[in-house]
Amino acid sequence: MEILKSALDTFFSFKAYVMLPFIMLALALIVRLNLRDALFAALKLGVGFASIFVVFSFFVDNIKPAVEAIVNIRGLDYPVLDVGWPPLAAITWSSFIAPLSIILVLFLNIILIASNLTKTIYIDIWNYWHFAFLGALVSAVTHNIWLAIAATLLIATITIKLSDWAAVYIKRETGLESITISPVSVVGILPLSAALDFLYDKIPGIKNLSANPEKAQKKGNLLAEPMVVGLLLGIVLGILAAYPVKKLLELSVNIAAVMYLLPLAGELIAKGIQPISHNLKELIQKRFPAKKELYVAVDTGILMQHRSVIVSGLILMPISILIAFFLPGNKVIPIGDLPNLISVMSISALLYRGNVIRTVLTGIPVVTSYLLISSKLAPLFTTLSKGSGVDLPKDHQITAFTDGGHQLRYYLLELFSGKTWAIIAIPAVLLLFFAIYKHSTRTQKEENK
């Protein structure tokens, strides 16, 4: 086990965008893409994901001082810091469950595919930490190894099935075949999104409201351009932060640049994945006629080319800060994980056919629960981070706005901890999962026609 842990530590010491091309190159060669095309496809994927990392880092560097200035001007003090996902990943990889989860989830995925219980090939090993993280939390709270392993396998199974159901929306809205999305932080919101979509269809006044940047852009609408929305967001943040004109304009242009570059990175990832997914589909149909289709699960970078995804996430950012100011029980201002709103709401935006209004409406309860859950779990995250050797700021607890406040992970933690409310809520949770199953099945039938 120590040898495996050491090997995994070395593997995960590399950035995801460095190792991803090697994994995708191997997959490309397995599906019989010629060497030249396989190399270019893998390189495009690596460069595309690296571009997103660079752009998001630049984005955080620009908005963090503005958000901090807004807080300071109003004389507010929040005891919990949103430091993003890295400390949570550190907690995970320092846990005994991390190396074990890699092996268990890989075998789980193989078994599910072989028994026709899933169509998803979950090769996104970096996002396995989401599964192991729940196991580490359950282990810390219950001190029961078997419950920790069971929790890890359960959230992995749920995520793989949700990835199955997400594939139809990606194909419908982007045209990408045999592709689905991997992170539980993204697909885990789908049950709520589907249930609310059914509800929106029954509410007069809301059911006919639609704002789709993809369609509006074709009509020449300036607000359909993510960089224009980014410019406006920068102006709003700059005014709230009391920035001088020079600093306000620099912030606005920088955010506009980020929103222009993200879709380009997404397009590059799409160009890299398309030949691999095409050959995979052909190989499966040739070798396994009984299996109609398999999906390769990848991170959300591939969806950054979609305007509705970008615009929805941008609009939710100032809304999140506003909610944080007034929400009772909240102890954190979203900063480190704020840009992640673009990612976590991405597949929901596609489920809503690119309708930004429905995506933002759904995002409001999602953001509210992020704030409350991440605030509540901050003491646990802080204690476990100290144990894993993470350098922590003095006089503050830490959390992660989106990854630390994820609803499905929190619910399963409470369930495996034996909390009464979580046990009572099982029928309601199952109803939400039935909603996404029905929604995805209905959409698939519509697409087949």
Residue 377 predicted with pLDDT over 90: yes
Residue 342 predicted with pLDDT over 80: yes
For the record, the structure tokens of 188 come out as 């885990």
What is the model's pLDDT at position 389? 64
In this predicted model, which residue has the larger pLDDT, 74 or 178? 178
Whole-angstrom Cα distance, residue 416 to residue 97? Answer: 16
**CB neighbour list of residue 161: distance below 8 Å, 6 or more residues apart:** 118, 120
Question: In the chain, how many domains are there?
Answer: 1
Mean pLDDT of 400-412: 94
Residue 222 predicted with pLDDT over 70: no
Q: What is the pLDDT of residues 26-48, one digit of tens each?
A: 888 887 888 888 888 888 888 88
Residue 304 predicted with pLDDT over 80: yes
Q: How many CB atoms lie within 10 A of CB 29?
A: 16
Residue 263: in which H helix or E strand, if any?
helix 245-287
Confidence of residue 382 (pLDDT cuts 50, 70, 90): confident
Please give the share of the chain, as a percent, with pLDDT higher than 90: 41
- pTM, entire model: 0.86
Mean confidence (pLDDT) of the chain: 86
Mean pLDDT of 222-240: 81
Q: How far is CA 144 from the centre of its chain?
A: 29
Rg (CA), the chain: 21
Mean pLDDT of 271-291: 75
Burial class (CB in 10 A: 0-12, 13-18, 19+), 223: middle
What is the model's pLDDT at position 213? 80
What is the model's pLDDT at position 316? 94
Q: Residue 178 carries which DSSP code?
A: S
Confidence of residue 9 (pLDDT cuts 50, 70, 90): low
What is the model's pLDDT at position 408? 96
Q: How many CB atoms lie within 10 A of CB 59?
A: 22
Q: What is the pLDDT of residues 157-200, one digit of tens each?
A: 999 999 999 999 999 998 888 889 989 999 999 999 999 999 99
Q: How many CB atoms lie within 10 A of CB 34?
A: 11
What is the model's pLDDT at position 309? 92
Whole-angstrom Cα distance, residue 12 to residue 136? Answer: 17
What is the model's pLDDT at position 7? 63
Full domain range(s) for residue 274: 2-448
For the record, the structure tokens of 314 come out as 């941008």
Confidence of residue 418 (pLDDT cuts 50, 70, 90): very high
Whole-angstrom Cα distance, residue 236 to residue 321? Answer: 12
Q: What is the pLDDT of residues 89-139, one digit of tens each?
A: 777 877 778 788 888 998 999 899 888 899 998 877 778 888 999 999 999
**Which range scores top for mean pLDDT: 112-121, 288-297, 386-395, 418-427?**
418-427
